[in-house]
Amino acid sequence: MAFVIFGVGAPIMLETMGLNYPTTNPSDILENNFIKDGSWLQLLSAFAVSTTLNVFFAPVFMTVHKITDTHIVQNQGKLLKCLTPIPISKIITEMDWDVQWNFVFKKTIPIFWIPAQTVNFLLPGEYRVLVAAIYSIILGVILAIAAQMGRDKA
């Protein structure tokens, strides 16, 4: 849903700021084949979608992920225990907000997610959710390697 909301909304936002689109529906520009028909307008639109998506939606999404991940870890991944109510306020208060803010939000969003999702929104719409899932796996592997290297140095 977020891909649809931001994929349509960001190009409309650019249009209201004075950008002229060659179609009546500004988000149509994202359906062109960038490799074949690439334009600065398509690139700017993809960047706007990625930036708005990652500034307004990603922090909430990442925080919810952290809460559910913590719940799973606290219940040792046991399915029946994981189906118990999530103690959201307890997890939120005990979260390492320094890491969440200074690393997850301030580093992974601008350095990884905004560029990656810009490329993703240059792809045909039917591939975007799949590619975003692949990006998540790639980032997870990178973070796991970085965490292991950090433990090895300690």
**Residue 1: which of 70, 44, 80, 61 has the closest Cα?**
61
pLDDT tens for each residue of 85-112? 999 999 999 998 998 898 889 999 999 9
- Structural tokens at position 34: 């960038």
What does the pLDDT average to over 77-92?
92
Asked whether the beta carbons of 91 and 67 are under 8 A apart, the reply is yes
* Residue 52 to residue 11: CA distance in whole angstroms: 10
Mean pLDDT of the region 9-33: 89
* pLDDT given for residue 35 in this prediction: 67
Q: Is 36 a residue whose pLDDT tops 80?
A: no
The pTM is what?
A: 0.84
In which residue are the tokens 């045909």 written?
124
What are φ and ψ of residue 21, in 5° steps? -100, 150
Across 37-64, average pLDDT: 93
Our count of domains for the chain comes to 1
Backbone angles phi, psi at 32, to 5 degrees: -70, 160
CA distance to 28, 60, 73, 86, 140, per residue, from 82 (Å): 42, 21, 9, 8, 22
**What pLDDT sits at residue 146?**
65
Nearest in space to 6 (alpha carbons), one of 114, 137, 134, 108? 114
The answer on pLDDT for 154 being more than 70 is no
11 pLDDT above the threshold of 90: yes
Residue 12's domain comprises: 2-153
CA nearest to 53, candidates 130, 123, 121, 133: 121
- Amino acid in position 69: D
Q: What mean pLDDT value characterizes the chain? A: 89
